[in-house]
Every structure is written in C-alpha cells, then in structure tokens.
Amino acid sequence: MDLARRLAERGRYTVAPNPLVGAIVARDGTAISECWHARAGGDHAEIGALKAAGDAARGATMYTTLEPCNHHGRTPPCTEAILRAGIARVVIGHLDPNPRMRGQSVEMLREWGVEVEVLDDPAFERQNEQFLHYMHTGRPFVHLKLAATLDGRIAAADESGGRVTGEAARLRAHQLRAEAGAVLVGAGTARADDPLLTVRGLPEEPPRITRVVLDPRLTIGGDSHLARTAAQAPVLIFSEERALDGREKELEASGVEIVAAPRSSEGLDLTFILEELGRREIRGVLVEGGGKTAARFVETGLADKLTFFYAPKLVGSEGVPMIGALRVTKMAEALRFSVANVETVGEDVAVTLYPAREVDRVHRAG
C-alpha cells in the first residue's frame, strides 16, 4: 500500500480535478503490475493495472489507494473490470466520499465473492484532502500560499524590489497551482503585478487551470495579461453588481467571464465565491493574493491549508506585511495552526500548516 500511495503521487500535478489514485496487482506479496491515474478522462489506476497484468490478474490481490468507482463517468466502472479480471481480494486505502459511491463498490465486490479490506488510513485521506473536502462540502479546498522574508514582508516599502524567493520556491508555487486546478488573487495583486497566473516549468503539461480575480470595482483592464490570454486558459472575475456598468464588455469580448458577487461587511462574499467555484466543479484553489486577501481567507476560517515560503532576507518594518489586519489585540485571540511540514526548498524554507480549528473559535466582543 505504501508503494500504491507513492504511485498515486505521480499524478499530483496532472490529475486535477480527479483524485490521486495508485493501484497494484500482486500475488504472494510480489507486484505483477502497477499504475496510477494520470489525467481526467484517462484510464483509472485500477484499469491500467489490470490491463498490464492481463490473465495473471485472475486470483490475485489488488491494492488501491481509493475505493474503485462503480459508475459510468468519462470512463467505465472499475468494479466491473475487477470482477471480469477475476481478482480475488481488494485492499483499499480509504472509501470514496462521492455520493454515488460511499462504500457501494465495497458492497458490490463482496456480493460477488471478492474479499475486501478497507484500511481507513489517515495517510490516504490526507493525500486526497482536496478531493475529499470538495465531496464533503461542495466547495473547493483552499490552499493559501505566501512568499515572505524572515520578518514576514512580501515586498519592500516601494513594492518594486524584485522577487522575494528563489527559483526552486517559484517552481514549487507553479506545482501548487497545477495541483489545485485554480489560482485566485485580489485586484491589488492583479493590478500591481499584471500576472499570467498560468503553470510553467513543469515537465508534464497540467490541465488548464482557472484564473480567478476578486475585483469589486472591476479595475482589471482589457490590456492586462489575464485578459489577453483568456482564450488559452479561463479567467473568472468576481465583481460587485454596481461595477458592471458597461466596462465589462471589453473583458467579456476577450473571453473573460464576469460574475456579480454580493458583498459582506469586509468585501466580496468569499463563501458565495467558493460555492460558485464549487458549482463549476473546481475542487481546489490556490490563493496567491496579497496580505489583505490572505487575511480575509484566514480570518473567516476559509483557508484549509497554508504554505509559507520564507526567504533568508530581512527588509524591516517598512516592508509590506504578509498578512493584513486580523483584529487580534491579545495573544489569547491569536489564530492558531499546526505545523505539518518544514522543508528547505532551494535557498528558502517552506512551512506547511493547517488551521487548529478546534482551538480557533475565539469570541471577539464588539
């Protein structure tokens, strides 16, 4: 199963919006064949492993990280292929939370005499955290990424001092975009940097990612990189309805989609935006906005995972802070996180965290 999990990882930057899956056909503890799910629409890992095993699959054991599907989608059901191949035993890392699944494949296989073992190992659930979150909530998994100096600054005082992190960290950021399937920034970042927000530098071409901008006053121009490349990769701009006064026509003519979003007390309603992305079957979003956008996702509890890249640099208190105002006045009110991983990425350090939600319910009077 450890090998199956490592196989699944090979699809991390190409499989979105599908889940990561690795599968092995084995007999007497020796692997006969192996496969991983590489792209949506391609063979599922179980199908690929069965094809590679051929007749040797009869009476063998299949190890798969995710419950095999039993419904027709872009590809035929894996359970039917397992039965036809004569697999005698199936070991599953975790159940599929898809409403059309949820243990149904396990029941079906057992009814036809196949021995099934479900491990329910948290390691397999963590590997597919994006897919599981979407299936449970209907909203994309939000991964917040920031690059900062050691003193928590994302730019120097004039905001034009060049890149913060090195090449290795920037490549990792592109990998995170591909993994998520969508990237989101605020209007300030879009105006200041005029970014492409595409995925570049990966050895394999990932699926097209959706580029999302929160732009309440609709300030993004038709000459921006986003607008000029909308035909190559989708661009979705959320704006206040009152800002749609005709200026949107130029953007729409270039292929940009404009969506009117309601306001909350702090800006555009982030819950509405995530639910809208979920309706479009976007299962993950990498938030790369500036400090204000980051603060909103963190403070509202909508950031499901955080990765901070720290460069070995200092710029001092006049630099631009990585996180905007959180209205925390006492240490007891501080938002808390658990550290999942710390690693060196080139010349920088990456820290991956998850919200400690059970201890982060602080009542703020007034």
User: Among all residues, which ones are annotated catalytic?
Assistant: 46
Question: What angle (nearest 5°) sits at the alpha carbon of residue 289, between those of residues 11 and 208?
Answer: 35
Phi, psi angles (nearest 5°) of residue 310:
-105, 125
45-53 and 78-85 helices, crossing angle to 10°: 20
| Residue 349 CB partners (closer than 8 Å, separation 6+) | 309, 310, 312, 342, 343
Phi, psi angles (nearest 5°) of residue 365:
-65, 145
Distance CA 127, CA 360 (A): 24
| Alpha carbon 200 to chain centroid, angstroms | 17
Q: Which of 212, 290, 311, 304 is nearest to 257 (CA)?
A: 212
Report residue 125 as tokens. 């659930």
Distance CA 37, CA 14 (A): 9
